[in-house]
């Protein structure tokens, strides 16, 4: 499942969705708001999404991940709005038969999310604010890439 939400991300609830006795490995990745960026003290972060397109891209990532690894359960949740330090901005959980494929699948999903999903963040400092520089989006999930 994929979700874009302006409410707090509940990682316990996401892990509960990974329940499956055929899976021996569950990997949960949490991205959260860091207190510094390029030597400056960050106070909070705004996340803005192109919601309709972001949902399309998140679903593509889930589909691609499932096509590449034997994933039995998967969740990708991304937050929008204003986040405080330490708040979770993104959560990705993957449950597979074995740990190796779960780690690889989760890594692929977060790396691809950063390259393809139209979301922007703005860092607020004590003395101002700035949009994060960002990367040129890749138009598709990379085919045949199993890193």
Partner 1 sequence: MLTITLRFFGQLRELTNTEETPIQVKEGTRIEDLIWLVGERFPVTKEHLKIVSFSIDNEYAAKDAVLREGNVVGLLPPISGG
Alpha carbon distance 87, 106 (integer Å): 20
Residue 7 or 19: which CB sits closer to partner 1?
7
Chain positions 110 to 139 lying near partner 1, rule: CB under 8 A, are 110, 113-122, 131-137, 139
Strand 88-96 to 128-131 pairing? unpaired
Alpha carbon distance 102, 128 (integer Å): 40
Query: If binding is defined by CB under 8 A, does position 48 make contact with partner 1?
Result: yes
CB of 97 to partner 1, least distance (A): 27
CB of 120 to partner 1, least distance (A): 4
Query: If binding is defined by CB under 8 A, does position 5 make contact with partner 1?
Result: no
Alpha carbon distance 26, 35 (integer Å): 28
What radius of gyration do the chain's Cα atoms show? 16
Instruction: Name the residues that contact partner 1, by CB under 8 A.
Output: 31, 47-50, 52-54, 56, 78, 89-90, 110, 113-122, 131-137, 139-140
């Amino acid at each position: 499942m994929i979700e874009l939400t302006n409410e707090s991300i509940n990682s316990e609830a996401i892990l509960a969705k990974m329940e499956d006795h055929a899976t021996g490995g569950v990997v949960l990745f949490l991205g959260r708001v860091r207190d510094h960026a390029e030597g400056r003290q960050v106070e909070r972060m705004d996340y803005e999404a192109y919601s309709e397109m972001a949902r399309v891209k998140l679903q593509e990532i889930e589909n691609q991940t499932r096509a590449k690894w034997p994933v039995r359960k998967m969740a990708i949740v991304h937050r929008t709005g204003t986040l405080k330090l330490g708040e979770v901005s993104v959560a990705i959980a993957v449950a597979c038969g074995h740990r190796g494929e779960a780690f690889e699948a989760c890594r692929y999903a977060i790396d691809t999310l950063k390259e393809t999903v139209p979301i922007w963040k703005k860092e607020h400092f004590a003395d101002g604010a700035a949009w994060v520089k960002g990367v040129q989006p890749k138009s598709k999930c990379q085919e045949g890439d199993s890193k």
